[in-house]
Every structure is written in structure tokens, then in C-alpha cells.
Structure 1
Amino acid sequence: MISLASLYALRMLGLFMVLPVLMLDGQDLAGATPELLGLAMGVYGLTQALLQIPAGALSDRIGRKPVIIGGLIIFAIGSVIAATSDNIYGVILGRALQGGGAIASAIMALVTDLTREEHRMKAMASIGASIGLSFSVALVLGPWLAALGGLQLIFAATAVLAVGGVLVTIWVIPSQPAIRHRDANAVVPVIIEQLKNREMWPLTLGVFLVHLLMVAIFVAIPLQLVEAGLEPTQHSWLYLPVLVISFVLMVPFIIFSEKRKKMKSVVMAAAAVIATGLFLMSMASQLWHWVAVLLLYFWGFNLMEASLPSWLSKIAPAGAKGSAMGIYSSMQFFGAFSGGALGGWILAQYGAAILFVGLGALVVLWALILSQTNAPRHLVSVRLPGNRHLDDSVLTELEAQPGVAEALYLPAENAIYLKVSADEFSHDDALTLIESTGEKHGS
């Protein structure tokens, strides 16, 4: 799990490190304009969004490790192209290839292959934590590397990280036969079905917007910090305490939302905090202003990043979590692409103040949409071993068990997927009911 989490984190580190520096150092590239620099920041999201579900499906056919190794090689090639380019178009091509190394779905599927059912939630959580950590490290490390060697050093470092990832995949991560698992893998018919799920769309629009904001604000913020008197080489020293404090502030609210079942209230509060931070950015002029508004913004951002996928996992139907998360992740990357393209254009045409106000207005609009959505029931997904003797009557009995909201049997996997209330559901009682229909099957 450590090797898989590090593999995911190193790749995300390579994607994020340029965010705080590209608009500053990229001005020296031939042909650079705010619009093209914004596109270079976000274009990785377009190729990532388009290819991640097909790459996951390919890993079901040819194996996880070949897809992961191939994706890392593509990522490394893109990094080399960007590192050796002296014009903006080469950097755009390199960033697009970085996103084209879409290995996220294959890594998550490999997590399923390598972990037992009772440890899988902890494994997935470690991957999620590594993503958040890599983002924070990237914002601090990017300006520091840029001060040492500019964009070329950042892209060269990401190429080295990708090659290191290939070696980890070959020599450290064990090989394992692929496991069909609907809570981890996207399935095309289920994806089509979930695209019609109206309950899911406020959340996918939310993650689209959150990542649009993240790339769009970094089109403008580095330049604003320089105007406020902070040298580019010192930007890391602002981002580091802001990110640490915002993370500490986030934790109690996440615990509150889960323990008290107040997730909708916490997400609405996070939207209000983000919108307030964006509106205040349009008026910030002094350095202490930027410290305050960035702390506010990242506090809300971290809350949203942690809450939205948790909400989605609660409402995804039994056996559809993997497909729902596939749609969610694709929308996340489309948001990053849109943020770069839109942010660069608005900055060039109307300036930073209008950009921040417009982004804040989008958050307010989304919050109004979310306010009309029902709060999620606090359900969790459970996968149990099936039994070839199962019939509809057994599923009916399972659904009648305390805490069970939904049951689905998939003969192709010989597995039963449940949506349950963890406080009421008895895992042992459910297994006893299943095993009473035939010979005992282990998970």
C-alpha cells in the first residue's frame, strides 16, 4: 500500500508543481500569452479525463501493471518534451502527454486486487491522503525548484519521478490477477445508467467547479503576490503555513459531519467560505490580505475535497460505486482543464479582479443548486461473498435485515453488494443468512 500510494502521489506531484510558477516563469517562453499559459496549466485535465476510464478498462484486459508502466512512460515523455521546449506550444504538448498517462483508475483497481475486503477502505483512504499530501507538497516545492532551475528543472524532476515509478511498479509492487469489483472498477453500462442519476449531478458539478477554481486562481495569484511585494522565490514560505493551518482547521469539521450526520451543512458552509475567499481576493492588495484570503480559501477547498467524494460514496447505488467515482473523477479533470483555459482568457480580457468575482459567483450559483438537494443518508458499501444457490428470496431477506437499504447479487463476480447503515448492520448475521442457502463460501 505504501508503494501504491507513493506511486499515485509522485505522479500527482509532477502535475501540480507547475501551478504556482507557470504564470511567472512561463512568460519567458516564445509565444506565451495569458490564454496559452492558462491552457498549459489545465490541458493535462482534458487528456486525463478522456483516457482514465478507457485505461481502467484496458487494465482489466491486459493487466494492471502494463497499463501503469505504459502510462508512466507516456508521462515521462511528456515531461521531457516540456522540459526541453523553449516555446509555449511545446509545453502545452508536454502537459497534454502528462495527463495522457492516465493511470489513476488502474492503480485503484490494483488496490482492489491486492487488498482483502476488510482492509480495502483503509487502503483507499491512504491513497486519498497521498493525493492531498502531494498537492500541498507541490505548491511548496514548485516555487523552490523554480528558483533553482526554472520550469525546466520542474519538468525534468517529474520525468525522473515517473521513471522511478516505473521501477517501483516492476520491482516493488506485487503482481496479482485482476479482480472484478464493481465498487472499484467502472463498468460502461453502469456508467451510462449513473449519468442519468440526478442525485449524483450536484456532486459531480461540485467537483468540476472545485478543480476549475483551483487551476483558475493560480492563473492570477502568483502575479498578485509579486505585485503585493513577495518575490517568487519566497512564495513557498506563504503557501506552507497556509496549507498546514487550513488542514488543521478542516479536520474538526470533517469529524463533525460524519459523527453528527451533517454532511450537507458542512459542504454548504465550505461553499460559503470559498465564495467569501474569492470575493475578498478581488479586493486584496497587501501581503497580509493574501495570507488571510488564501487561508480562508484553502480551508473551504480542503473541506470540499474531503466531503464530496464521501457524499458520493453514500448515495451511489449498490454495485455502482466504481462507475460513479469514474464519472466523478472525469468531471474533476475536466474542471482542471476548464479552469486553465477559462482563467487565462478572463485574466487577459478583464483582469484578476473580474476573474475572482466571476469564480465566486459560480460558487454561489452551485450552492443554490446544492441547497435543493436532499442530505445524504449515511450509508456505506459492503461486498459479501456470493453463493451459487442464491435466489431472489435470499436478497429479499437480506434487504429486510436491520440497516440494509439495498442489495444486489452479481453472478459474474459471485458477490453481493449492499448499501447499509454501519450503526445497524450486522456483518455476521448477513453472512449466516447467505451461507444457510448452500455450502460455506469464504471472502
Structure 2
Amino acid sequence: MNPTERRALAGLASLYVFRMLGLFMVLPVLSLYGTDYQGSTPALLGLALGAYGLSQALLQIPLGVLSDRWGRKPVIFLGLAVFALGSMVAALTDSVFGLIAGRILQGAGAIAAATMALAADLTRDENRGKAMAVIGASIGVAFVLAVVLGPLIASFGGLSAIFWLTALLALLGMLLVWRLVPTPQASARRAPRKGDFSRLLAQGDVWRLVCGVFFLHLLLTMLFVPLPILLVDQLQLPSEQHWKLYGPLMLGAFVLMLPLMRLAEKRSKVPAAMRLALLGLVFGGVALMPEVHGGWIILCLGLFFLAFNLLEALLPAQLTRIAPAECRGAATGLYATMQFLGAFVGGSLSGVVFGQGGAGAVATLALGVLVLWSLAWWQLRGKPLPVASS
């Protein structure tokens, strides 16, 4: 990569870490600390966990298309400002309904599509796969940091402290985009032509990839409704010490993911690696089963986190390879829409199921989801996806 590409990628990957860190930090603690909010129930806490995904899902495509026409940076600045406002609303409330409202407002700052499209604008075709893999990996980094920092920060200041830190990170993200990330030349953007988006949707692998990110984040939020409670009950691990478990697991998973990702890219085995990672996600559901105890829970979680980080890195890289340059913002908007819709469905559904049938029922549901995902990926191509021309 040339210096401009490296600078752009460093800035955008850091922006992803800042923003996703704020969203992910509540995952390991909301079902524990959320019981202190007025009117809380398992179903409402599950809704609060995934609520940001609803507004994200509704706004990613419109804002992605808007970034194709108005430019990426104005959309990103606007989204970060709305995200910071939603974080403040969530930090100031003592009601579960105020918490849900704040999370929905957080999600309204839907910049994932514009950010991925900006990364694609600022990198050449031959480096675009690497750029998307780095951004995908940065989400994994954010997840690693979040599951460690979330319980630690909540032990000092509760959920409010997490939301205030999230607002601060959003403001720092705005500064980062302004000072570090280059602005693409006007010629680097082309207005979408009639039929571009239709051609995008006609590609079968596009749908398989966006279904993949839907199921991936559905499983993630589904898992984190019962998991913090399970760690307290099964492992006798107090909530303020959960970071001691998450930290080594996530660090190990991330370190192992990097050579696997490089090997898959180098040997053109990305579809095979993604199918193998799908198998690894099964262990997330296994960890919730009543028959699994002690160290087996820890082993299952480690395998799940490894598979999650690998897919989070590989999926966006594959998508941007087959997306036409002139509607890349819309393509990443579709991807982000399905990503956050999965988070909303997973959190909401898991809250209801957990309230009715416990962790075992959530485990059964998660394994059923993986069966559907396997069917959706049955025809995922076993050869490298072609690089889009720009």
C-alpha cells in the first residue's frame, strides 16, 4: 500500500474500533446491570441489547446511497453526532424504556456503509481485499477490547459509565476522520446508474454473504443475553471479574485468527475457511447447554470467538470484491443493514426465549439458526471472487 492508503486505512480502522467498542461494551453486562432499571424484564433487556440494530438496519442503505451522492465524510460526521447523542440519552436514563430509546438513537448514527465505502474509495483494487480484511479485523479488535473493558468499567460506574465513554469515543472519532482520513477526489465517486443496484442484487454470492453477516450478529447478541448470567451461576464468576475470562479468550482467538485469515487469502480458500468458521460457531450454542460445565464452557467460548473473529474479517472483504465501484456505498449499506438487523433480531428473540425456557432453549434456537445458515451457504462458490473494476 502507498502512504495515502496506509493513512486512510489506519484512520478508518481506528474509527471502527472506537465506534464498535461503544456498541459492544454493553454486550457482556447489560443483562446483569439492566435489572436495576425501572420496568426491566428479560424480554425488554433483550430488546435493549439489540435495539440499536433496528435503526441501523433501517438507515444503512439510505445513508449508504446518500454517501454515494453527497460524499462519505459528511454522512460519517452526521452519524457520529447522532450516535453520541443516543449514548448521552442512555447514560442519563433510569428506565428500561429510556435505555431502549437511547440504544435506538445510537443505531440511527448508521455510518458503517459510508465508512466501508470510503475505505474502498481510498484504496486501489489490488489492495481493497486487504483493506476490508483489516477493517473487518478491527471489528474483532473492538470486540476483544469491549468484552474486557465492559465488565471492568461497569463494575465502577454501571451502564451509565459505559455510555458516557461511548459518547466520548464518538466525538474522538469525528476528530480522527477530520484530521487523519483523506478526502476522496470528486472523480473517485460516480453517481449510481439505473440498474446498478439491480445487477448487484442479482449476484447470488452477494445474498449469501449478507445472509452470513445477518446470522453472525444474530448469534452474537443471542449468546450474550444468557451468557453473563451463566458465568455467574455455572462458573461462580462474579460479574466484575468476567473480564478475566473474556480477556485471555478473546486475545487468544484474535491471535489465532490472523494466520488463518492470511492463509485463506493466500491459498484462495476463503469460502472453505468461512464454512469451517461456521462449524466453529456451533460451540457458542453448545456452551449454553445445561449438560456443559466448567472448563468445557470456556473451551466452547474460545472456539466460538475464534470463528466469529475470522468471519468478521473475511465477509466484508469478499463483498467489496464483487460490488461495482459506482454502487459500493449501496452494497456496503445492504451488508451493514443485514448485520445490524441480525443484532436486533438476535437480542430481541433471545430475551423472549431466555425468559420462557432458560439458557437451554436459547442454545437450541442457536443451533437451529446454524442449520438455516448452512443451507443458505450451500452454494457459496469454492473459488476466489473476482475483483471489481473501479
Please tell me the residue identity of whatever aligns with 2:377: L
Q: Is 1:241 aligned to residue 261 of structure 2?
A: no
Task: Give 1:293's aligned residue.
Answer: 300
Please tell me the residue identity of whatever aligns with 1:194: L
CA distance in 2, matches of 1:176, 1:271: 36
CA distance in 2, matches of 1:64, 1:314: 19
1:55 to partner: Cα distance: 1.7
**87-96 or 242-251: bigger deviation:** 242-251
1:53 to partner: Cα distance: 2.3
Would you say the 8 A contact 2:196–2:324 is kept in 1?
A: no
Please tell me the residue identity of whatever aligns with 1:236: W
Which structure carries more relative contact order (alpha carbon 8 Å, separation 6+)?
Answer: 2
CA RMSD after TM alignment: 2.6
1:38 to partner: Cα distance: 0.8
Task: Give 2:364's aligned residue.
Answer: 357
Task: Give 1:106's aligned residue.
Answer: 114
Task: Give 2:312's aligned residue.
Answer: 305
Task: Give 1:7's aligned residue.
Answer: 15
Q: Is 1:42 aligned to residue 50 of structure 2?
A: yes
1:317 to partner: Cα distance: 6.5
Q: Is 1:28 aligned to residue 36 of structure 2?
A: yes
Of 349, 367, 380, which aligns to 1:342? Answer: 349
Question: Where in structure 2 are there 5+ consecutive unaligned residues?
Answer: 1-7
1:195 to partner: Cα distance: 2.9
Question: Which structure has greater helix proportion?
Answer: 2
Instruction: State how many pairs are aligned.
Output: 381
SS of the residue corresponding to residue 22 of structure 2 reads helix
Of 186, 193, 201, which aligns to 1:195? Answer: 201
SS of the residue corresponding to residue 351 of structure 1 reads helix
CA distance in 2, matches of 1:262, 1:119: 18
Of 20, 26, 42, which aligns to 1:18? Answer: 26
Change (3 A) 1:171 1:268: closer
Please tell me the residue identity of whatever aligns with 1:28: D
Give the structure-2-normalised TM-score: 0.88
Please tell me the residue identity of whatever aligns with 2:36: D
Task: Give 2:239's aligned residue.
Answer: 232
Task: Give 1:424's aligned residue.
Answer: none
CA distance in 2, matches of 1:339, 1:292: 23
CA distance in 1, matches of 2:193, 2:41: 41
Task: Give 1:83's aligned residue.
Answer: 91
1:322 to partner: Cα distance: 5.0
CA distance in 1, matches of 2:283, 2:56: 30
Question: Where in structure 1 are there 5+ consecutive unaligned residues?
Answer: 384-416, 418-443
Change (3 A) 1:319 1:8: same
Q: Which structure is larger by alpha-carbon Rg, 1 or 2?
A: 1
Q: Is 1:222 aligned to residue 228 of structure 2?
A: yes
Q: Is 1:279 aligned to residue 282 of structure 2?
A: no
Please tell me the residue identity of whatever aligns with 1:268: R
Question: Which structure has greater strand proportion?
Answer: 1
CA distance in 2, matches of 1:367, 1:31: 38
Of 211, 219, 237, which aligns to 1:205? Answer: 211
SS of the residue corresponding to residue 377 of structure 1 reads coil
CA distance in 2, matches of 1:169, 1:304: 26
Would you say the 8 A contact 1:114–1:176 is kept in 2?
A: yes
